[in-house]
Amino acid sequence: MLRAPMKPRAFQIQPQDNVATLIDDAPAGPVEIVGAAGAPVTAGENIARGHKIALQDIAPGQAVTKFGVRIGHATRPIARGAWVHLHNLASDLDERSGTLDLHSGVPTDTASAYA
């Protein structure tokens, strides 16, 4: 008997979180939200496992909440279903977070031993 392919899943830790963490790689399309009883969301782009997906629209300057606590703020509008990462999120604790390379996390504001 063939099974229907599973929807990719993301875990919402607390009900007040406005992001969830992908448990599976998610192609653009439906994502099941597990954990704090969140509603399903549609990924607007491919999002890798371990990364965050927005569960609601988040305005620039608005808090991004995970674990029930503020982890930073949006630096630009973030649409529901969008990938939340260095290109649209800044830490409130580490002002250098906005200078990290989007894919590698390497600082771009200083000389690197890897250059």
Query: Average pLDDT, stretch 30-44?
Result: 89
pLDDT digits (tens, 9 = 90+) for 50-89: 999 999 999 999 999 999 999 999 999 999 999 999 899 9
Q: Name the percent of the chain lying above pLDDT 70.
A: 76
Q: What is the mean pLDDT of residues 10-34?
A: 95
Domain ranges of the chain: 9-99
Predicted pLDDT at 6:
82
- For 9-99, CATH number out of 1.20.1250.20, 2.30.130.110, 3.40.50.300, 2.60.40.3500 equals 2.30.130.110
Could you tell me the pTM of the whole model?
A: 0.79
The predicted structure's pLDDT at residue 70: 94
The 83-84 sheet, strands edge to edge: 41-43, 29-35, 9-12, 19-22, 52-54, 83-84
